[in-house]
Amino acid sequence: MNTPITVLGFAGSLRKNSCNKALLRVAKELMPQDAKLETFDLEGIPPFNQDLEDKMPERAKEFKAKIREADAILIATPEYNYSIPGVLKNAIDWASRPYGDNSFEGKPVAIMGASGGRLGTARAQYHLRQTFVCLNMHPINRPEVFVDQAGEKIDKDGKLIDEPTRKIIRELLENLIVWTRRLGKK
Protein backbone atom coordinates (compact mmCIF):
# COMPACT_ATOMS: atom_id res chain seq x y z
CA MET A 1 0.00 0.00 0.00
CA ASN A 2 1.33 3.45 -0.93
CA THR A 3 1.73 6.08 1.78
CA PRO A 4 -1.31 8.39 1.48
CA ILE A 5 -0.75 11.74 -0.20
CA THR A 6 -2.21 14.92 1.28
CA VAL A 7 -3.33 17.52 -1.24
CA LEU A 8 -4.25 21.02 -0.12
CA GLY A 9 -6.91 22.64 -2.28
CA PHE A 10 -8.06 26.24 -2.29
CA ALA A 11 -10.27 28.38 -4.50
CA GLY A 12 -9.52 31.93 -5.57
CA SER A 13 -13.02 33.04 -4.65
CA LEU A 14 -14.56 34.04 -1.33
CA ARG A 15 -18.11 33.76 -2.70
CA LYS A 16 -20.41 31.42 -0.82
CA ASN A 17 -21.87 30.00 -4.03
CA SER A 18 -18.58 30.03 -5.90
CA CYS A 19 -18.43 27.63 -8.82
CA ASN A 20 -14.73 27.18 -8.14
CA LYS A 21 -15.50 26.05 -4.60
CA ALA A 22 -17.98 23.66 -6.24
CA LEU A 23 -15.12 22.20 -8.29
CA LEU A 24 -13.15 21.62 -5.10
CA ARG A 25 -16.10 19.77 -3.53
CA VAL A 26 -16.24 17.49 -6.56
CA ALA A 27 -12.48 16.96 -6.37
CA LYS A 28 -12.91 15.76 -2.77
CA GLU A 29 -15.30 13.09 -3.99
CA LEU A 30 -13.15 12.06 -6.93
CA MET A 31 -9.79 11.89 -5.18
CA PRO A 32 -7.88 8.65 -5.83
CA GLN A 33 -7.94 6.18 -2.92
CA ASP A 34 -4.34 6.71 -1.92
CA ALA A 35 -4.81 10.46 -1.46
CA LYS A 36 -6.95 12.90 0.47
CA LEU A 37 -7.93 16.46 -0.28
CA GLU A 38 -8.04 19.06 2.47
CA THR A 39 -9.38 22.49 1.62
CA PHE A 40 -8.59 25.95 2.91
CA ASP A 41 -10.87 29.00 2.59
CA LEU A 42 -8.93 32.17 1.83
CA GLU A 43 -11.49 34.25 3.77
CA GLY A 44 -9.82 36.38 6.44
CA ILE A 45 -6.36 36.64 4.91
CA PRO A 46 -5.60 40.39 5.04
CA PRO A 47 -3.97 42.35 2.20
CA PHE A 48 -0.28 41.62 1.94
CA ASN A 49 2.01 44.05 3.71
CA GLN A 50 5.72 43.43 3.49
CA ASP A 51 6.25 45.18 6.84
CA LEU A 52 4.42 42.24 8.44
CA GLU A 53 6.03 39.32 6.68
CA ASP A 54 8.17 38.46 9.73
CA LYS A 55 5.17 38.70 12.05
CA MET A 56 2.45 37.40 9.80
CA PRO A 57 -1.25 37.79 10.58
CA GLU A 58 -2.67 34.58 12.08
CA ARG A 59 -4.78 33.58 9.08
CA ALA A 60 -1.89 34.02 6.64
CA LYS A 61 0.33 31.99 8.96
CA GLU A 62 -2.29 29.25 9.08
CA PHE A 63 -2.48 29.15 5.28
CA LYS A 64 1.27 29.01 4.94
CA ALA A 65 1.51 26.15 7.45
CA LYS A 66 -1.12 24.16 5.53
CA ILE A 67 0.80 24.64 2.30
CA ARG A 68 3.99 23.51 3.96
CA GLU A 69 2.39 20.33 5.35
CA ALA A 70 0.81 19.34 2.03
CA ASP A 71 2.47 16.97 -0.43
CA ALA A 72 0.73 18.61 -3.39
CA ILE A 73 -1.46 21.62 -4.17
CA LEU A 74 -4.72 21.96 -6.11
CA ILE A 75 -5.94 25.43 -7.09
CA ALA A 76 -9.39 26.23 -8.43
CA THR A 77 -9.21 29.70 -9.90
CA PRO A 78 -11.84 32.06 -11.26
CA GLU A 79 -10.81 34.52 -13.97
CA TYR A 80 -11.09 38.21 -13.09
CA ASN A 81 -10.41 40.68 -15.88
CA TYR A 82 -8.42 38.10 -17.83
CA SER A 83 -6.21 37.24 -14.87
CA ILE A 84 -6.24 35.63 -11.44
CA PRO A 85 -8.31 37.22 -8.68
CA GLY A 86 -6.55 39.49 -6.21
CA VAL A 87 -7.52 37.29 -3.25
CA LEU A 88 -5.69 34.36 -4.80
CA LYS A 89 -2.54 36.30 -5.66
CA ASN A 90 -2.61 37.91 -2.23
CA ALA A 91 -2.73 34.55 -0.44
CA ILE A 92 0.06 33.18 -2.64
CA ASP A 93 2.19 36.23 -1.89
CA TRP A 94 1.87 35.74 1.90
CA ALA A 95 2.74 32.05 1.72
CA SER A 96 5.78 32.72 -0.44
CA ARG A 97 7.40 35.10 2.02
CA PRO A 98 9.68 36.12 3.70
CA TYR A 99 12.39 35.72 1.08
CA GLY A 100 14.02 32.31 1.42
CA ASP A 101 11.03 30.82 3.21
CA ASN A 102 8.65 30.09 0.34
CA SER A 103 6.22 27.37 1.45
CA PHE A 104 5.41 26.44 -2.17
CA GLU A 105 9.02 25.54 -2.97
CA GLY A 106 9.26 22.35 -5.02
CA LYS A 107 5.58 21.36 -4.63
CA PRO A 108 3.62 19.63 -7.34
CA VAL A 109 0.50 21.57 -8.32
CA ALA A 110 -2.60 21.15 -10.46
CA ILE A 111 -5.01 23.85 -11.63
CA MET A 112 -8.63 23.92 -12.63
CA GLY A 113 -11.03 26.78 -13.07
CA ALA A 114 -14.63 27.66 -13.82
CA SER A 115 -16.07 30.83 -15.26
CA GLY A 116 -19.23 32.09 -16.84
CA GLY A 117 -17.32 32.93 -20.02
CA ARG A 118 -16.39 30.84 -23.03
CA LEU A 119 -12.70 30.36 -22.22
CA GLY A 120 -13.23 28.81 -18.81
CA THR A 121 -10.41 30.73 -17.04
CA ALA A 122 -7.73 29.84 -19.62
CA ARG A 123 -6.17 33.30 -19.48
CA ALA A 124 -6.09 33.30 -15.67
CA GLN A 125 -4.57 29.82 -15.60
CA TYR A 126 -1.69 30.84 -17.85
CA HIS A 127 -0.98 33.80 -15.57
CA LEU A 128 -1.00 31.43 -12.62
CA ARG A 129 1.46 29.13 -14.40
CA GLN A 130 3.82 32.08 -14.78
CA THR A 131 3.71 32.61 -11.01
CA PHE A 132 4.64 28.94 -10.51
CA VAL A 133 7.97 29.63 -12.22
CA CYS A 134 8.88 32.19 -9.56
CA LEU A 135 7.55 29.94 -6.76
CA ASN A 136 9.57 27.00 -8.16
CA MET A 137 6.51 24.76 -8.23
CA HIS A 138 6.02 21.78 -10.52
CA PRO A 139 2.69 22.09 -12.35
CA ILE A 140 1.16 19.25 -14.29
CA ASN A 141 0.45 20.29 -17.85
CA ARG A 142 -2.48 18.05 -18.72
CA PRO A 143 -5.36 17.84 -18.68
CA GLU A 144 -6.20 21.52 -18.75
CA VAL A 145 -9.46 21.89 -16.86
CA PHE A 146 -11.26 24.92 -18.30
CA VAL A 147 -14.87 24.79 -17.14
CA ASP A 148 -16.59 27.29 -19.41
CA GLN A 149 -20.22 28.48 -19.14
CA ALA A 150 -20.20 27.20 -15.60
CA GLY A 151 -23.80 28.25 -14.98
CA GLU A 152 -24.90 25.40 -17.25
CA LYS A 153 -22.67 22.80 -15.62
CA ILE A 154 -23.11 23.63 -11.95
CA ASP A 155 -26.69 23.76 -10.68
CA LYS A 156 -28.17 26.27 -8.24
CA ASP A 157 -27.27 24.02 -5.29
CA GLY A 158 -23.61 24.11 -6.32
CA LYS A 159 -23.59 20.58 -7.69
CA LEU A 160 -21.60 19.73 -10.80
CA ILE A 161 -24.05 18.15 -13.23
CA ASP A 162 -21.80 17.78 -16.26
CA GLU A 163 -20.33 14.29 -16.66
CA PRO A 164 -17.44 15.24 -19.03
CA THR A 165 -16.30 17.80 -16.46
CA ARG A 166 -16.33 15.19 -13.68
CA LYS A 167 -14.30 12.90 -15.90
CA ILE A 168 -11.64 15.49 -16.66
CA ILE A 169 -11.34 16.47 -12.99
CA ARG A 170 -10.84 12.81 -12.09
CA GLU A 171 -8.09 12.58 -14.70
CA LEU A 172 -6.45 15.75 -13.36
CA LEU A 173 -6.38 14.33 -9.84
CA GLU A 174 -5.02 10.97 -10.96
CA ASN A 175 -2.25 12.71 -12.87
CA LEU A 176 -1.45 14.92 -9.88
CA ILE A 177 -1.02 11.88 -7.63
CA VAL A 178 1.18 10.05 -10.15
CA TRP A 179 3.24 13.24 -10.60
CA THR A 180 3.59 13.72 -6.82
CA ARG A 181 4.94 10.19 -6.42
CA ARG A 182 7.23 10.63 -9.41
CA LEU A 183 8.71 13.74 -7.80
CA GLY A 184 9.43 11.61 -4.73
CA LYS A 185 7.14 13.61 -2.48
CA LYS A 186 5.68 10.37 -1.02
Ligand X SMILES: Cc1cc2nc3c(=O)[nH]c(=O)nc-3n(C[C@H](O)[C@H](O)[C@H](O)COP(=O)(O)O)c2cc1C
Binding interface with ligand X (CB under 6 A): 13, 15, 18-20, 78-82, 115-117
Q: For ligand X, which is the closer residue by CB, 71 or 79?
A: 79
Q: For ligand X, which is the closer residue by CB, 13 or 96?
A: 13
Q: For ligand X, which is the closer residue by CB, 8 or 35?
A: 8
Q: For ligand X, which is the closer residue by CB, 5 or 75?
A: 75
> Mind giving me the DSSP string for 36-104?
EEEEE--TTPPPP-GGGTTS--HHHHHHHHHHHH-SEEEEE---BTTB--HHHHHHHHHHT-STT--TT
Q: For ligand X, which is the closer residue by CB, 87 or 177?
A: 87
The closest residue (CB) to ligand X is 117
Q: Hey, CA dihedral for 147, 26, 41, 92, is it positive or negative?
A: negative
Q: How far is the CB of 47 from ligand X (least distance, A)?
A: 16
How far separated are the first and last CA of the chain, in Å rounded? 12
Q: How far is the CB of 122 from ligand X (least distance, A)?
A: 9
Q: How far is the CB of 142 from ligand X (least distance, A)?
A: 21
Q: How far is the CB of 16 from ligand X (least distance, A)?
A: 9
- Please provide residue 174's backbone torsions phi and psi, each rounded to the nearest 5 degrees: -60, -45
Q: How far is the CB of 155 from ligand X (least distance, A)?
A: 13
